[in-house]
Structure 1
Amino acid sequence: MRFYFPTAMLALASVVHAQCGEGSDATVTGEGTFVATVGSEEVYAGDDYLVAIQTALDAITEGQRLSVIASGSIGDRSITITSGKIFEGCGTIDVGNNAGHGAIEVLDASDVSIPFLTMTGAPYFGMRFFGVSNLSLGQITMNLSGGLGIRFERDEAPNFNVAMDTITVTGAGSHAVETWNIDGLTIGSVFAQDVGECGLLLQTTTNAQVGLVDGNNVAAGNGYATLRFANTNGRLADGSYATNVYVDKVVSRGGGRGVFCVSESGGAEIGNVDLADNGNNSILIENCYGVSIQGGTVNGGGEVRLSARDEFANNRDISISLQVDGTSVTENPCGENISWDLTGSGTFNIC
């Protein structure tokens, strides 16, 4: 049974189909001198782009929308969005590195929507979240020169009912999208290009539905992957690994690994993979439980591998159907209840 999360998706649909800036309750406009207006009242005029944005955000109430029409730089500081507010970045928001923080933060808040955002710069985190519920992210584009794109924190309050539409990240030094502690996640697409670590990294996330993960030159020279499940991702509250994480398709070209499941993760179904010329394993499944790859192709690149570390239980309940050409498939050590359906010209060394 697949899981869907209509509250977040309805909220998302209500904002992403409008034009950016259309029907706003508040705006930030200008160039050099920025003017923040809420309704008919001007609440700020000056040369500080961040102050203009934050003043307008603080002046709107739950259910209202702020559209940042102007482009500018917030420097090494953060925009904070509180419950019930809609924030649109219609211009380009350039950001700096605010150590340990996001350039945009939503913390311990509910019913926040960010339907549009274009970001440049090298943030510590482009967007940072924890303790959120009913969060909707729409068309998010980050053309970065370092840093990490979207981060849900590990050691803070958990998150519920998160929806993302299309996330596009280029140039991040770390991950494009990294989640921790989400119950109820829907993602339309993640596009990651020239990203240092993962395209999409899911950790302690359950009841997830992902459309497409597309990575080009992601995780080159390291052990990360276009799509990675780690740290008990997909393990349900009762300790079981019933399928609850669904990914429709993974596309990966070059970089490091294509798909990587590790550290007691599982409960995952991937409908189709299209992997080519990965510099590390095309697919690595290591100490995972209840993982299915239902079809697709691997062309060249690193081997498809099932392996295990001693500190965790061995792989079990793994089902893989693939056409593999120009590389190898290895299962070592032999797992428990492993099912292979392999075609192609690759070399197969399985149990």
Structure 2
Amino acid sequence: MALYGYTIGDVDVNSTLAGEQFQVYRFLIPVPPVSARIISPELVGTVTVNVTGNPDLEGLGTNYTNGRVSAVNEPNFGGTTVRVSSIDRPFPSPAPVAVTQNRVPATLNRFGSETGADFGRDFSVATNPPAVLYNLGANADASDGPVGTSLYKLGLSGTSANTIQIIDATPTAAETAGTTPTNPGIYADGLAVDNLTPGRTRAFGSDFSNVDGDGAQLHKVDLLTGQLSAPIQLRDSETNQLLAANKDSGLAFTRVPFPGNTDTSPQRLIALLENGFLYEITGYEDELNASGLSLGSATGTNGAGFATATLIGVVNLPNALSGSTDYEGFTIVNEGING
């Protein structure tokens, strides 16, 4: 098996067509030990989003039931939430269709202007919890409104199919309306759910931006309550200092145990920054295994509240380094060596 990352650019590549046309790229994830190198991506296909505001496809996740990739558009206050499925190889022909997610309750609006997404089990269902697509709505810049993050779930089957709901025990009217986050002051725009060892707190949100003033970090995510933990600071493996990145990010685990997947490699946690920089995160295990939403044990390898980020490559995505095109969504698929 081989690991491939997927991402989507945020620039409309054909303004003559209705909506916005976003390009999907695929690239090989390096296998450690490896020194950072330039990684060449492959154009997989183009997705059209034609909804209110034409927001970008920033949230990507790999479905553990079938191994296929779905994307969610970024929050756009009062706008439509859409999910686009099967955007990995083999790319559908005709191009995949954006499916509208119906708001439950009808007054629901997603919070923020940034997003992350990943598949996981719906822990509000006690027996045989179904797969849902979790979605972060986040805002890092106080000039755009309150800094914070809210968690949502997009239903995929049964009576909840094509719905979106906020995850909070007792959401306020403002939280439901999308004007206030359920996690004030905590920002995360990348989401990775550990489906290899499922659990309601076996998920991370990532924040590589310093717009909110607190540097690069992870947060544990409670998939049942929607709570995000206090920060787990990221240290640069080269300097052992706090990582200075200041970019939007996507986050993904490497192990997605869908049927027929024979991958038995160790679990890895990878982040893609909007400029194509690819980081592997290690030393997070104490945080993920800790009970509740604490920072983890004080006896961990890196001490409580810290993990290490190592640059493993730079994906040579079109116009990424110049900043004229951003690549914020990220997920990983286990594929055959020959694709």
Q: TM-score, normalised by structure 1?
A: 0.26
Higher strand share goes to which structure? 1
Bigger relative CO (Cα 8 Å, ≥ 6 apart) = 2
Q: TM-score, normalised by structure 2?
A: 0.27
